[in-house]
Structures are given as structure tokens and as C-alpha cells.
A = this chain, B = another copy of it.
Amino acid sequence: MTSLAYAAKRYLLSILLLLGVAASATAQNADQLPSWNDGKAKQSIVAFVERVTAEGAADFVPEAERVAVFDNDGTLWGEQPLYFQLLFALDRVKAMAPQHPEWKDKEPFASLLKGDIKTALAGGEPAIVDIVMTTHSGMTTDEFDQIVRDWVASAKHPKTGRLYTEMVYQPMLELLAYLRANGFKTFIVSGGGIDFMRPWTEKVYGIPPEQVVGSSGKTKFEMRDGTPVLMRLPEINFIDDKAGKPVGIHHHIGRRPIAAFGNSDGDLQMLQWTCSGPGPHFCLYVHHTDADREWAYDRDSSIGRLDKGLDEAGIMSWTIVDMKADWNKVFASSP
């Protein structure tokens, strides 16, 4: 590059920076959260982001420390009538049944194959662990990745008839983009399986695999016909739920988030950990209050129960999103 070209570039760059500043101020003023009604929830989000991004101000946070963590089930996409990953596991049982004639007489598989989900899941956690382990292990990580991709591209939700990835919340997609536009790094921290989410989170949420934290099974490196593979074992490695969420955050991210978003008691410790940090911080609960457009549930729900968290949010003055009142749109496209 000649020095003339260099000088020209410097000059143009300075003009562009000035224009850029004007553009970003304009963009900040324009509404980047159009699916959020004006109200306390939206105002508290915008106020926090403006507070930590205002250079020179007391609460300014450098970009590297702008870590925001999001629960997935019930926070970024739906979770009713059952966690979507459990619906995936049930579909897998059906797909795998021809290779497992013994399942006809073995619970919880026998009931599942008769379509009696209630009886199948009556065994509680051990039954669920059995179903998940059976359907999530015994293959390589690459093979499982492909199985998830195929399912996500074709399986339909039993109530809405839509692809599961069409059941993500439009206001939360806007929130993710708004935070990233303001220098935040967005992470998922979910009780769901890390390898169940990674094949599609980049496309759907703009969150790459290395920014997904979740529950996991153990894997083992081995040689298969001279080729290295990672085999998925039927053993739990880590449960990223409740008190496990701060542990997962520390393990994967290695610094304390300044913003956390959840919807259930399973997220409570993540919010407590985030909102007890030394600097500015922000905690938000999505409260499912919209039985017409989505579902309404909280203290008594077996899926996504929000009970202790609702009390704590009141005490700590965390932001609570009333889905019915705060969101003018729930899903990206209408059914």
C-alpha cells in the first residue's frame, strides 16, 4: 500500500467513523425490540444495556466482560407439553424399535410404543434417564449430530404442528441480537443436552457451538477401523440444572455473567450467581402467562415450574416478563 493510499484510507476512515457514530446512535434510538410492548420489562432491559455500554460512565463494562447467559427451554423456545428433547427421545424410541424387539416387554419402552406416554413416564426420573440414555448413546458424536439435524429439520410439535425451531420466541431473538449489537457475548446455559442444541443454535439463535452450555453424557475417544471417533457412552457426565448452572458457567465460560435470563426454578441459582456479582448486573424471568398464544403455567407446573424463583424475583427486584402483556408477538411467524 502506498503512503498516499494509506493517507487516503486514514482520511476516509475518520469520516466513516464519524458517520458510524451517528449511525450507531440512530440505531440505538430506533427500536431494536419491536415485539416488546413499551413497559417496565422492556424499559429495564434498555436501561441496563445503555448503562453498561456508556463509555466513561461509572457502570461501563468492557466488551470482554459483557457475558449474557440464557436458559433455553421455556426461555428461548417452548417447553410444553413436554421438553422438546424428551419428544425427540420418544421419536427416537419409535425409530429404533425395529432393532429392539425386546422393548415389547420392557418398560418404559413397552408403554411408549403403545403410545401411552403417561404410563411410560410414571416411573419418574429413572424412566426418563433410561429413555434418554438409550436414545442418546451408543453412536459417535458425528452420528448423533446428524440424527439431531434430521429430526430438527422434519419433526413437528404435537400441538402446533410446526417445526420445533419455529417455536422460538421472536422477542427473545430480538433481545439476543440487541445484546450482541451492543457488544455482548451471548451464551446458552440449559438443562437440556449440550449436543442436542449445538447442531441448530447457530442457525436459529446466532449462538455458535462453543457458546452452548448444557447437560452431557460421557464420551470416549477411540479408534474405529483406524479412524479416531468419540463414542457416546450411556453415562451422565454433568447435569446443568439448578445449582449445576453456576458450576457449568464457571466451567465453560470462566467468568461471571452480567446478565441472566431464565423462566423456571431451574434457573434460580444461575440468576443468583449472576446478580450477586460485584459490578452492574441484570436478571430476568420470563413468566408464561399467555394460554392463548402459548401456555400459562408457573408454581404448580411439573415442566418449567416457577415458584421459588418468582418469590426471589420479587424480593430482589429482578425483571419479570409477563408474556401476555409484554410481548406483542410470541413466535416469529403465525401458525
Where the two chains meet, the residues of A that have a C-beta atom closer than 8 Å to any C-beta of B are: 1, 5, 8-9, 12-13, 15-16, 19-20, 22-23, 26, 64, 67, 141, 185, 194-195, 198, 202, 208-212, 216, 219-222, 227-228, 230, 237, 243-244, 246-247, 250-255, 269, 272-273, 276
Contact = CB atoms under 8 A, between A and B. Distances in A.
7 contacts: A12-B19, A64-B208, A194-B254, A210-B253, A221-B246, A228-B276, A230-B246
A43 to B, nearest CB: 24
Contact of A23 (B1, B16, B64, B222): B1
A113 B26 CA distance: 64
B9 A251 contact: no
Contacts of A195: 254
> Which of A20, A221, A250, A269 gathers the greatest number of chain B CB atoms within 10 Å?
A221
A199 to B, nearest CB: 9
A212 B1 contact: no
A273 B221 contact: yes
Contacts of A216: 251
Contacts of A253: 209-210
A221 B251 CA distance: 12
How many copies of the polypeptide does the oligomer hold? Answer: 2
A250 B219 contact: yes
B230 A250 contact: yes
B228 A269 contact: yes
> Which of A195, A250, A276 gathers the greatest number of chain B CB atoms within 10 Å?
A250
B23 A254 contact: no
B13 A16 contact: yes
Given A228-B269, A247-B220, A254-B195, A26 B9 contact: no
Contacts of A269: 221, 228
B250 A252 contact: no
Nearest to A23: B1
Nearest to A16: B12
Contacts of A208: 64
A5 B230 CA distance: 54
Nearest to A208: B64
Contacts of A210: 67, 185, 210-211, 252-255
Given A13-B16, A195-B254, A228-B273, A219 B202 contact: no
A19 B26 contact: no
A247 B219 contact: yes
Contacts of A5: 19, 22
A122 B65 CA distance: 43
B12 A12 contact: yes
Contacts of A22: 1, 5
B276 A227 contact: yes
A128 to B, nearest CB: 22
